[in-house]
Each structure stands twice: as C-alpha cells, then as structure tokens.
Structure 1
C-alpha cells in the first residue's frame, strides 16, 4: 500500500499591529507638525530652567551690590546687572518659575470652574442655563485686563491675588466652550441611551459628556496659558502682581523701564523670555487644534 504523506502547515505569525486610539492618532499627527514640535521644545526648555533654577542661576535673585549697578553683560554676569546690582540672568531664570506657575495654575483653576458651570448650563438648560449664561455675559462685557485690575485692586496687590484674578476672568471662556459642546452631545444617541436605562445625570456627565469634551478644552487651555502669562506680566508691570523682590518677568520690565536707554539689557531679556514662552504655547496650541480636530485628519 502506498504511504499517505500528510503535510502539517504551520501558521505564519503575522505582526501584531499596535492598537489605535484617538489620543495616539492625535500624537502621531502632532509630532509631524514641525512648528508644534518647536513650540513643545521651547516649553520644555523653560520647564527645565524653572525646575533646576537653583542649579542654573549663578547668583541669588534677591542679592546685589550697588557698585555693580547697571553693568553690561560680561563673562561674570551673562545678562548684565540691574539698577540694584542684581544679576539679571539669575532673576530671569527664577522668573521662569513664577510665570509658568501663574500661567498653568490660573488656567487650571479656570478650566475646573468653567467646566463645572458649563456642564450644568448646557445639560440642565432652562433657568440654570439662563443664570449662568447671564453671569458669563456680564463678565465678558468688561475687558479682561480691566476686570483683573479691579479684582486685584479690591483684594490687594500680590502674586496670589493676581493668580486668582486671572483665573476668575477666564472662567467664562471655558464655561461657554463647554456649554456649547454639551448642547451638542446631550442630543447624541449614546447619551439618550444612557438616560433610557436610568443612568444618573452625574454619571452621564462624568462618563459620557465630559470625556467627549476634553479635546477643545485641552486646545483652549494650552492657548489660555499663553494669555495668562501675558496678563500676569501686565499686572506685574502695573505693580499689581508680584511684589519686590520676586523676579517676575513683567515686574522686571516695570522696574527697569526708566533705564531702557542706559541699560537696555535689563528690559530685553525678560521681554524676550515672555515672547518665547507665549510663542511656545501658541505653537503647541495650534498643533493640538489641528491634531484633535477630526476634520483636519484627512
């Protein structure tokens, strides 16, 4: 009898592709955006400077010698000295801590409060929406910097009060953004299905509506940090923000404006840091907008 030969075919293992997700897709789009990567690099640079300020700064930011008053940049003082003989480079380095802290903290506070009120207004509507929306309208009727000045004038000039004022004036921006998003999402089928099975409103807001509202919040928050840094610098320039000897960039500009012709380096370097930081957040914010917008993915 002829032997019957059987052949066993070993299945070829196919490479397992990495699971895709909206956030991973957004990152892949973002990292291809050269300008966004430049912005991310600028932000990371200033974050590193702020974190390691004591190791980077060669001098203490609040100590100086009057005999070294308004000295030009040199090997000893890279950015020169100010009107009190303090090292400008050291003050600029420590100033990164204050500006980034004020910008991020105030915007985070605005996002939390604005998201809370926006969820309530958009989801419940009726008188809740009317009351919250009218409050937002009144706040938006005032120029933001004037409203911030009024709040700090009432509370008293200090860095903490300036941070609180910046957070308050930006609440309507995030609140209206979230409200408009909720008005759209609450009519979607998955939200209506959640209601049909008896899910509580709080659970619907947290589990379904809020996660689908994160993309515009992140984009607006990133751009809002740049605005908050400018507003903090403006309040500092007016003497309503950080108080001496705190090395806040806006306050450094205000203290040195009368020496702009005699010692321009005391104004150039803090102003340049403000410009670069704001530019970095604007670039990464634009990149996030393009990456998180489904209409831009094609």
Structure 2
C-alpha cells in the first residue's frame, strides 16, 4: 500500500502539471484553436475571448487544475482543439495499437536478449571460465537508431523484396517490420545487461559447489539465470514502457496510429488536450509496468529479501580477456583520426555540382543532398553530439544513483513513461528551443533506467548476509555504503550509463532535428540521418556515415567499460569479511 500511495501521488502531481500546460506554454491556446478551426477569421481580441470562454480557458489556473481531474473521473479527456472531437475515443484506440505493437516488439527483444546471453550460459553450463562475451555486439546493435532500422527494413523487405507491407496497420503482417525495428535495439540493451551479470552469478560459491557435486550444467545455468533476473526486472519494465512511448519515429515512418505518434502530432500542432490525454495514458502504463516488474522481482527474490539468505553478486575471479583493453585504444585512435581529418574541412560549404557525390579523394565520405562534405559534418558534429551526450550521461548517472538509493520508484516510473521527444516539446514550449532545452529534456527522463538499476542492485546487496554481519559488528552507515553497497552497485550502473551514451547522443540529435536543439545548419548526427534518409537508396554513404559513427560510439562504450572492469580488483569473498 505504501508503494501504491507513492505512485498515486506522483501520478496526481504529473496530472496536475499536465492540466496546467495551456498556462505554462508560451503560445496562446486561443490563437492555436482559431488557426486550426477558423483559419479565415482574423485574430481579433473579441474572437479570442469568445474562444477562451467556449473552451474554459478564461478561468484561473486553479480552476483549470480543479476542472481537469474532475473530468477525468467522468472518463472525459477533453475535446481536441484541432478537430473539435472528443479525445478519449481516439486516445484509447491509439493505446490499443501501441500495446499490440509493444507486445510484438517485446517478443523480439526477448529473443535478441536470449540469443546474446546464450553463449555465456553455455559456457557456465559447461563449468568453464565464464566471462561476458556479447558486450561489443550488443552495444553496436543498441546504438543503431530505431528509425534507421525501420527505414532499411522498409526499403529492402517491403519495397525491393515485396514480402511485407511498408505502411499502415490492421493485419499481423503490418506489425513485423516495426516490431523488428523497435525490438532489436531494446533486446540488445537487455542482453548486454544480462550478459554483464551472468559471470558474477557463475562465480559464486554455490555454482562452484554445484559443479563439484556433479549437478547437470543446464540446471546450474537455469539457477544462474534466475539469480540475475531480480536486478533486471525493473529494466524490463522500463523497456516495456519505452517500446510504447518511445516508438514515435517508427510509428510515424510506418504510418501507425499509435500513442507515441499521436502525442507527437498533437504536440507539433499544439493540440494540448490530445497531448494531455496521451501523456496521461503513458503514465498509467508506466505505473502498471513498474508495479508488475516490482512484483516479479520480489517474487524471484522470495524470503531472501527479508532474511538475508541470498548472497550478494560479486565479480568473477577470472582474468579479463585482453581484447577489450587492446581494442578500445585502437578504435578510439581511429575515430579520433577521422574526426581530426574532418575538422580541417568546412561543414557548411555547399557545392551544388557535387550533390550526393560518392566517396572520392575530394570527399572521402561523399556529400549530402546539398553537396556538403559528409566527413566535415560528421567531425564537426562529433564534438557537439558526443560531448553533450557524455555530459548528460554523467548527470543522469548522478541522478540515477541518488534517486535509486532513496528508492524513488514512483518518480522513476513516471519519468520513464515520458518519451524524450515529447518532454523536449514541452520544455521548448515553456523555456523556448535551444541546445540547453534539449539537454535538459533528455536529462529529465534519461536517469530513470539508471535509478531502477541502482534500486534493484541495492535490494540485492541489502539481502546479502555479509551486510547483516557487518551491521551486527557495529559498522556504521558510511562504512556499509563504502565497503559493501557501492562496490556492488556503482560499477554495473556506471557501465550501464556508458552503454547509454549513444542513445543519448541520438536523442539529443533527434530533438535538434525537430528544431528543439541547436539551430540548423549546424551539423548533428541525428539531423544528418534524418536529412539524408530519403536518399538512402541512391546515396547510402550519406546515411551509413552517421549510423556507423553511432555504432562506433556504442562499441567504444562497451570496450572501455569491459577494459575498466577487467582491470578492477576482483574478490571471491564478500567485501569486508575476507
């Protein structure tokens, strides 16, 4: 009941904020309604006052704050400013479409995660020296933009091969391509986290004892999988919500009438009642998914959550492989060389005679649709995109650790239910567009997965017997935090934050393309992808360059975290008791 009360309080707070959106945005709602419904009428003060009186916008903010929740209790989500129709039927219909797409995408993501973690499970089942092996592959897949995967699948599978429909919704065949586009990156992220946790489970004493006793390997692998699942269940809940609210670009590309696309269209049209209804449904979905994930995690932990019977996950004692330590500097040096070469070129110079020119001596990576050098734009965009993403990642790591430590589950689920694109539109409406608004919008929601990961690992550490023993011996909170909790929580959460740097870079660039970040023609990787996507079949190099840069960024994140993990001190006994 305590957790339900916290989630209800957070939901009511956000509902109140959404109800005040018409008063918070810089645009005049009455003028928006006038342009949408009565474009031929002049915006005279009398006309605007009549519209405000008709829609209830002439009252005070307190009246609006009291009116909207009262209408919600009657099932009334308001009336669209653009169409003049009730919001509830269309919003609920869009939610049904999004839930169907989410189910198909979740099935794909689970299959991808299982495929990435299977080699590690097999090595553990054979009682071998287990190390995480899917890091780089998973990081590259997770760094691929969903809308780029969707565009490639549509061009190849739907257009060239004519195997599946490219647009629309209504049959199971329409869900295949968007489910693949959404499920592959999400499954790669989940598989990376699972593959990162399995070696620690196989290195615990019970696994070694099971091997010595001759327990079948598949049973050991099954128990190791269950051992790691409690820490991943919150991430699975966040992924479920992300597959619904974060499917904006894919729904738009495939013309799917889902909740994310409906919310984005309403935000761009400044149709705030529709935006309010969509965001409310996303929040309710996030709350339901968070509660389900918490219940599943508590069920898997069982009585160990209270009596300390579950040992803490400790890193394996096996030596780290040398390949990450060697591969990271080489890849970083190659990436730096490409960036330095591009910085010597002008990213804004337009050569109309060389539009969509292929790679050559003059243009090693080719040119875009305006004749601008892709190498130059890629390099100049790297500093802005990557450095901003790293700064946002550091801020989200600090927020995630702090809020995860205080178990802010309700706030975490609420933040995760809001897609970064929609948050960016709201922030831009209040504070105005700009690079700082884009960074603030992404930071406002991107800390949620890290907070959920922190809270789950903290629950596992709290269930460990060595923590109870240290507390019984008189250890203070600072000692417990420094010697017992942080060693088990900070490294995996930091690796998780590094793994999300490419996704943050893409989110920031996508906001910039929508006009909510740096103003064009400044070079940004997301804008390069979106601008050149219509020419992908004729000039694939214009899309491959920024997509490869994002993939390289993901591989660098995986290799660097693997190298740091390999050099960190490893213990096979509980810290502080050996």
1: CA distance, partners of 2:394 / 2:479: 23
- CA, structure 1 residues 40+243, in 2 after alignment: closer, same or farther (shift >3 Å)? farther
The residue aligned with 1:205 is 481
CA distance 1:286–1:32, shift in 2 (3 Å):
closer
Query: 1:186: Cα distance to partner?
Result: 4.0
Aligned residue among 147, 157, 179 for 2:455: 179
Q: In the TM superposition, what is the alpha-carbon distance from 1:92 to its structure 2 partner?
A: 1.2
Change (3 A) 1:111 1:251: same
2:444 to 155, 160, 168: 168
C-alpha contact 1:191 1:208 (8 A) present in aligned 2 = no
After superposition, residues 131-280 of structure 1 pair within 5 angstroms as 132-143=408-419, 145-186=421-462, 188-190=465-467, 193=470, 197=474, 199=476, 201=477, 204-206=480-482, 208-260=484-536, 263-280=539-556
What CA distance in whole angstroms lies between the structure 1 residues aligned with 2:529 and 2:481? Answer: 45
Counterpart among 53, 62, 74 of residue 348 in structure 2? 62
Residue 256 of structure 1 deviates from its aligned partner by 2.9
Measured after TM superposition, the shift of residue 101 of structure 1 is: 1.2
Specify every segment of 5 or more residues in structure 1 that has no aligned partner in the other structure, as ranges: 1-21, 122-131
Could you list the per-position Cα deviations for residues 155-197 of structure 1 after superposition, in whole angstroms to 9, with x for gaps in the alignment? 4433332222222212121112212222333455457646864
**RCO comparison, higher one (Cα < 8 Å, 6+):** 1
* Matched ranges for 1:78-89 at <5 A: 78-89=364-375
Question: Which residue of structure 1 aligns with residue 398 of structure 2?
Answer: 112
1:202 Cα shift? Answer: 5.1
C-alpha displacement of 1:247: 1.3
TM-score between the two structures when normalised by the length of structure 1:
0.68
Instruction: Give the 3 Å change call, closer, same or farther, for CA 194–60 of structure 1 in structure 2.
Output: farther
Partner in structure 2 of residue 14 of structure 1: none
Give the secondary structure class of the aligned counterpart of 1:267.
helix
Alignment match of 1:46 (pick from 331, 335, 346) = 335
Contact 2:439 2:508 in 1 (8 A): yes
CA change 1:86–1:143 in 2 (3 A) is closer
Instruction: Using the TM superposition, name which of 146-155 and 268-277 deviates more.
Output: 146-155
**How far off is 1:29 after superposition?**
0.7
Whole-angstrom CA distance in 1 between matches of 2:425 and 2:562: 29
What is the number of residues matched between the two proteins?
A: 257
* CA RMSD, Structure 1 to Structure 2 (Å): 3.8
| Distance in structure 1 (CA, Å) of the matches to 2:326 and 2:441 | 31
User: For 2:505, what is the secondary structure of its paired residue?
Assistant: helix
- Report how far residue 248 of structure 1 moved: 0.9
Alpha-carbon distance, 1:291 to partner:
9.1
Alpha-carbon separation, structure 1, partners of 2:513 and 2:326? 31
Q: TM-score, normalised by structure 2?
A: 0.38
Deviation at 1:110, TM superposition (A): 0.6
